[in-house]
Amino acid sequence: MKIDERHLVQLAAVVKTGGVTEGAALLGLSQPAMSRTLSMLEARIGEPLFIKGRRPLQPTPLGRALADHGQTMLSASRKASDVVESFRVGKSGVVRVGGTPFFMDALIAGMIAEFQNLYPDVRIDQTYGYFPDLRAALHADQIDLAICPIDILDEGSGLEFQQILPGRNVVACRMTHPLLLKRRPQPGHLLDFPWVSPPPGSPLLADLRSMLLSFGATEIKIRYSGGSLLSVVNYMKAADALTIMPHSVVFALRNEKSITALPVNIPHPDRALGLLKRADAPRTPAIDHFARHVRSSFETLKHLIKRHEQAVVWGS
């Protein structure tokens, strides 16, 4: 025997509220329509659903059993409605974000935590990569957003870029580095020390080579390479090595008092950190909320980072 699921839901509403009128109001139906449904259901199964003469209505054992099934359906329907509404307003969903390792570890990971304090039901799936890999992942619909530094997009790339921070590099060292004892370290002084190379594929690697060539170096004394941000920082805490880093990353690590920036003027890259997404990507509220949160966070950071550069890097 096949029973219409909607009839079971209506039966559950009547059992829950104790009356046909109340049950109809719970579901937004009319009382006559609800009464007809119950009559049809009783006729269909050939058994009474309620004990006659009892007010409020009391179900028979069969009526109670069927109402339990209807209540399960009613609860599932309401949960599904809640899920839809939550998704529409951006309170739930999945955001797939990729980005360059140093920025993700130093800055974005904390922003993700702050975002999820506001939107605890939004899941963030994070991956690492540099621009070529992230661009390919966007086009393959493997990520929704990329956070990375780029210089300029090719015409017809199908991507949209929103700048969130200008590109500014610094030479980073440990807090007790001998060069910090000099009043004004000169570029030539940096060539006396070994270097930590940025990870392969990082645009910082080209920045390092270009910077050292501008200082007159004929060879680069690389003593450590390929590490994560944490491993680079831990290495530098115990060595007099130098490395090149985005100033924002050094700024983010300032409270750990492990590394700092040397007050040396170096060339800055012609690129900016920003949010990258497909131009034809469908609008998803949770992704829009997350992108807005990242932009807002960097807008606040931008002024703090500028003050830090003036105070620490240039001592003004």
Answer yes or no: do 250 and 107 share one domain: no
Report DSSP state, residue 180.
Answer: G
Answer yes or no: do 160 and 295 share one domain: yes
Domain annotation covers residue 101: yes
Answer yes or no: do 139 and 155 share one domain: yes
108, 125, 94, 98: which is closest to 286 by C-alpha?
A: 94
Answer yes or no: do 288 and 143 share one domain: yes
Angle ∠(158,106,276) on CA atoms, nearest 5:
5
Answer yes or no: do 186 and 116 share one domain: no
pLDDT tens digits, 47-88: 898 898 788 889 999 889 999 988 888 888 777 776 677 676
Q: How many domains does the chain have?
A: 3
92, 95, 72: which is closest to 82 by C-alpha?
A: 92
Cα gap 244→61, rounded to integer Å: 76
Question: CA-CA-CA-CA torsion for 181, 182, 188, 189, nearest 10 degrees?
Answer: -20
288 sits in which H/E element:
helix 285-308
Answer yes or no: do 279 and 236 share one domain: no
41, 57, 89 - which closes a domain: 89
222 Cβ contact list (under 8 Å, min separation 6):
194, 195, 196, 197
pTM here is: 0.72
Domain annotation covers residue 266: no
Task: Check residue 89 and give its pLDDT.
Answer: 65
CATH number at residue 127: 3.40.190.10
Cα gap 66→47, rounded to integer Å: 12
176, 239, 168, 163: which is closest to 204 by C-alpha?
A: 168
Answer yes or no: do 9 and 154 share one domain: no
Domain that holds residue 207: 169-261
- The residue that leads in pLDDT, 28 or 314, is 28
89, 113, 138 - which closes a domain: 89
The 10 Å Cβ neighbour count of residue 81 is 10
Domain annotation covers residue 141: yes
261, 286, 303 - which closes a domain: 261
Answer yes or no: do 109 and 155 share one domain: yes
pLDDT tens digits, 99-153: 999 999 999 999 999 999 999 999 999 999 999 999 999 999 999 999 999 988 8
Cα gap 139→277, rounded to integer Å: 9
Task: Check residue 185 and give its pLDDT.
Answer: 87
Answer yes or no: do 192 and 212 share one domain: yes
Task: Check residue 306 and give its pLDDT.
Answer: 80
Answer yes or no: do 45 and 189 share one domain: no
Task: Check residue 130 and give its pLDDT.
Answer: 94
- The residue that leads in pLDDT, 282 or 87, is 282
Lowest mean pLDDT among 2-6, 93-97, 196-200, 307-311: 307-311
CATH number at residue 34: 1.10.10.10
Answer yes or no: do 200 and 52 share one domain: no
Task: Check residue 79 and give its pLDDT.
Answer: 78
Q: CB–CB of 146/125 below 8 Å?
A: no
144 Cβ contact list (under 8 Å, min separation 6):
95, 96, 97, 277, 281, 284, 287
243, 265, 274, 292: which is closest to 151 by C-alpha?
A: 274
Domain annotation covers residue 176: yes
Answer yes or no: do 68 and 145 share one domain: no
Q: Which amino acid is at 19?
A: G
Domain annotation covers residue 234: yes
